[in-house]
């Protein structure tokens, strides 16, 4: 069995040849020789290829799912970082507030002591003042005087500051606890990310291995198909030769046209020129256009169409081919006699093959097995 690419190119070439060569030509229904085609046994599909293809699809689907999960983990990581940052800011702010409250309390206490000193100077002594300021005195009268003279507003401020410190300490503890929890969450997300990345890396490694195995199987299949195609081509050529040798030819073949050499040289001189739909030279050609042009240079008028040229020439066998004779083909999937070339000897023809292929010299079996041969009278 020919591989898919070879089949596509063959069918494309055959269709373009048939359409271009048969355009604007009307001919009666005809019967052409049927060539026996011996095809090589088809290359069976390797079950390993199907298995690897299914495994590749499964792994790729898993990798895609894991990548989506990794993307979600990335977003979770970003959110966890935001929470940790906010908690850290809250803890730092609470610490700042606590330090400020403590400073305020210390300043208030200093103020209270200053007021006590001022009060004592008016009716106390240095020793009692020292005891009062240092907080270690036992003079109850001095203490009573201190309490009486201290600003009630300052005392209230101290009490409020201490209450504020207590609240701030509680707030700081809450923030610290939240920060600790969020850091744990961040660490867990990071661990999950690393695990997901390792899983994806492992899956990609497995995917590469399976793809490598599949590439080897494909190469083996291509080689098998090429061998089958070569066997099929050889069998077809042999069958065509056997058929051509067995083809009945009415009477002896006419002598070669003495102008055949001119026609052959004219055709060979067009090598490298592009294939053009309906082209008959001098800038480009289709298959029958090249034959018509070459024989026209030799002074022989032929129609622009492979079917018409088939009827304008005399039938000969493959064994009677001479340079200048015409070789006809019926490409698969196209009308009979859809292509024509000019024989130049040694099993080769000069032809305008198909679009994208310039005029050149090819094996007589390049297009496929010939179905007929004609000599220009």
The rounded Cα 228 to chain-centroid distance in angstroms is 31
First to last CA, the chain: 40
Using CB atoms within 10 A of its CB, is residue 344 exposed (0-12), middle (13-18) or buried (19+)? buried
CA distance 229 to 231: 5
CA distance 260 to 85: 94
Q: Which single residue is written with the structure tokens 């730092």? A: 92
Token reading at 157: 């401020």
pLDDT at res. 100 = 78
Locate all alpha helices (DSSP H) within 23-137, ordered by sequence. 47-121, 126-134
CA distance 341 to 368: 12
The candidate with the shortest Cα–Cα distance to 273, out of 288, 291, 286, 260, is: 286
The candidate with the shortest Cα–Cα distance to 49, out of 232, 262, 211, is: 211
Helix 152-246 and helix 47-121, axial crossing angle in degrees, nearest 10:
170
Residue 188 is inside which H or E element, if any? helix 152-246
The candidate with the shortest Cα–Cα distance to 17, out of 364, 335, 350, 373, is: 335
CB atoms within 10 A of CB 242: 13
The candidate with the shortest Cα–Cα distance to 365, out of 228, 233, 230, 272, is: 233
CA distance 134 to 116: 12
pLDDT at res. 9 = 34
CA distance 328 to 350: 12
CB 96 within 8 A of CB 175: no
pLDDT at res. 98 = 76
pLDDT at res. 26 = 35
CA distance 103 to 158: 11
Question: Which residues lie across from 342 on neighbouring strands?
Answer: 326, 350
pLDDT at res. 41 = 36
CB 2 within 8 A of CB 226: no
Question: Which residues lie across from 328 on neighbouring strands?
Answer: 340, 372
Token reading at 354: 């198909």
CB atoms within 10 A of CB 92: 12
CA distance 359 to 350: 7
CA distance 313 to 260: 13
Side-chain-side CA neighbours of 145 within 13 Å: the count stands at 21
**Phi and psi torsions of 315, nearest 5°:** -70, 135
Instruction: State the DSSP string of 316-360.
Output: --GGG--TT-EEEE--TTS-TT-EEEEEEETTEEEE--BTTB-SE
> Could you give the domains of the chain?
4-33+252-375 (3.90.1720.10), 48-223 (1.10.287)
pLDDT in tens, the chain (377 residues): 334 333 333 433 444 444 444 443 333 333 333 333 233 334 445 677 888 888 888 888 888 888 887 787 778 888 888 888 888 888 888 788 778 777 776 777 676 667 666 665 655 444 444 555 555 445 555 555 555 555 466 567 667 777 877 888 887 788 788 888 888 888 888 888 888 888 889 888 888 888 888 888 888 887 887 777 667 655 655 555 555 555 555 557 777 788 999 999 999 999 999 999 889 989 999 999 999 999 999 999 999 999 999 999 999 999 999 999 999 998 876 678 889 999 999 999 999 988 889 999 999 998 889 999 999 98
CB 231 within 8 A of CB 317: no
């Amino acid at each position: 069995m020919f591989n898919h690419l070879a089949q596509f190119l063959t069918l494309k070439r055959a269709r373009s040849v048939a359409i271009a060569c048969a355009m604007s030509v009307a001919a009666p229904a005809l019967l052409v020789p049927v060539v026996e085609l011996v095809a090589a046994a088809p290359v069976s599909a390797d079950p390993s290829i199907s298995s690897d293809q299914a495994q590749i699809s499964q792994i790729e689907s898993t990798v895609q799912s894991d990548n989506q999960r990794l993307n979600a983990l990335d977003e979770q990581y970003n959110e966890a970082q935001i929470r940790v940052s906010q908690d850290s800011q809250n803890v730092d702010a609470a610490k700042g507030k606590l330090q400020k409250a403590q400073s305020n309390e210390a300043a208030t206490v200093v103020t209270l002591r200053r007021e006590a000193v001022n009060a004592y100077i008016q009716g106390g002594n240095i020793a009692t003042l020292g005891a009062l300021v240092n907080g270690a005195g036992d003079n109850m009268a001095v203490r009573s005087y201190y309490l009486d003279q201290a600003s009630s507003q300052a005392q209230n401020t101290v009490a409020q500051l201490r209450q504020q410190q207590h609240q701030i300490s509680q707030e700081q503890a809450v923030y610290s606890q939240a920060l600790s929890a969020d850091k744990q969450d961040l660490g867990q997300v990071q661990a999950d990310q690393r695990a997901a990345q390792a899983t994806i890396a492992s899956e990609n490694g497995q995917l590469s291995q399976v793809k490598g195995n599949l590439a080897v199987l494909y190469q083996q299949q291509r080689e098998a198909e090429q061998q089958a195609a070569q066997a099929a081509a050889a069998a077809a050529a042999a069958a065509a030769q056997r058929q051509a040798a067995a083809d009945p030819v009415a009477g002896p073949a006419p002598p070669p046209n003495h102008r055949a050499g001119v026609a052959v040289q004219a055709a060979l001189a067009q090598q490298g020129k592009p294939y053009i739909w309906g082209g008959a030279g001098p800038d480009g050609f289709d298959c029958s256009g090249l034959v018509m042009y070459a024989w026209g240079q030799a002074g022989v008028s032929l129609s622009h169409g492979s079917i018409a040229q088939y009827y304008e020439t005399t039938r000969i066998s493959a064994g009677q081919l001479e340079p200048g004779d015409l070789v006809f083909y019926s490409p698969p999937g196209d009308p009979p006699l859809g292509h024509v070339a000019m024989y130049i000897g040694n099993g080769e023809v000069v032809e305008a093959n198909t679009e994208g292929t310039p005029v050149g010299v090819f094996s007589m079996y390049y297009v496929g097995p010939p179905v007929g041969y004609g000599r220009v009278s």
